[in-house]
Amino acid sequence: MERPYTLLAVASVSLLIGFFFGKILGNSSKTSYDLVDSSDEDDSRNITSLKQINPNHFDEFKLVLLVRSDLGMTKGKIAAQCSHATLACYKTLQKTNPQLIRAWENSGQPKITLKVNNYDEL
């Protein structure tokens, strides 16, 4: 009968250790994001321009993702990064211009991925 208690003790300790490591690592990663200056002039101009787009002036909407081939990412890494970028765009537009998101959704949420050779081609 000692075995179930041992198993319960090991599981409880493992859960607590995982929780504390998650808290510590989670806080340190949040700190690194806080160090980034989110009030960058270029970013604020981009967000302002997103707010000014009137979806009624356009017929079609597409999300175009540009992938740099000089970075040497694997196909899986490219897919993951494109997924992250798509979600980031969606969240940004959700806050800044929800009408634009609705228009994109009504267009069937088209996503186009294009390859560029290097940063200069962007």
pLDDT, one tens digit per residue, over 46-104 is 666 778 888 877 788 889 999 999 999 999 999 999 999 999 999 998 998 899 889 99
What are the boundaries of each domain within the chain?
Answer: 1-36, 41-121
Calpha distance 78→87 (Å, rounded): 14
Mention every residue, 6+ apart, whose C-beta is less than 8 A from residue 115.
66, 67, 69
CATH topology of domain 41-121: Bit1 (3.40.1490)
Token pair for 91: 């969240």
The per-residue pLDDT for 55 is 82
**65 close to 111: Cβ distance less than 8 angstroms:** yes
Highest mean pLDDT: which of 6-15, 17-26, 45-54, 83-92? 83-92
